[in-house]
Amino acid sequence: MEVVLVYRAAASLLTIAFVSGVVMMVIRFGSDNESPAWMAKLHGFVAVAALSLLVFGWAHLGFSRPASFALLTLLLAAAAGLFLNLGYHWRHKPLPEGLVFAHMAVASLGFLVAGVVALSLAA
């Protein structure tokens, strides 16, 4: 039962991170402006909270292979997001499109796999 609760909470947080990431992408590529700092912080803090839950669940409760794959892809996306934030966003430099799309693709894959796992646990 604990695995279901941890995964549901993480999936809810990941949904907020996903939506805020899509909004930031629209701002970046739709207007060529940088996204607001508060939105980038919200995105990062919520994603880290979800990752913390997933790492706890993986270490203490045990995860299936697809759930572990989702965690790994989300950790890779988090590393890329941290690099984007510290290397570009804080310095008010334009984010490189290739790295933004790589971050978005890996994060989307992890989000989708995590969503499928969360739905399968709910059944």
Residue 32: its pLDDT value, please? Answer: 73
Rounded average pLDDT over 105-122: 90
Domains with residue ranges and CATH for the chain: 2-122 (1.20.120)
pLDDT single digits (tens) 25-45: 898 888 877 888 899 999 999
Query: pLDDT confidence of 1, banded at 50, 70, 90?
Result: low
Question: Is a pLDDT exceeding 80 seen at residue 123?
Answer: no
CB 21 within 8 A of CB 45: no
Nearest to 112 by CA among 42, 13, 11, 19: 11
Rounded average pLDDT over 54-79: 91
Query: pLDDT confidence of 95, banded at 50, 70, 90?
Result: confident
User: Whole-angstrom Cα distance, residue 31 to residue 27?
Assistant: 6
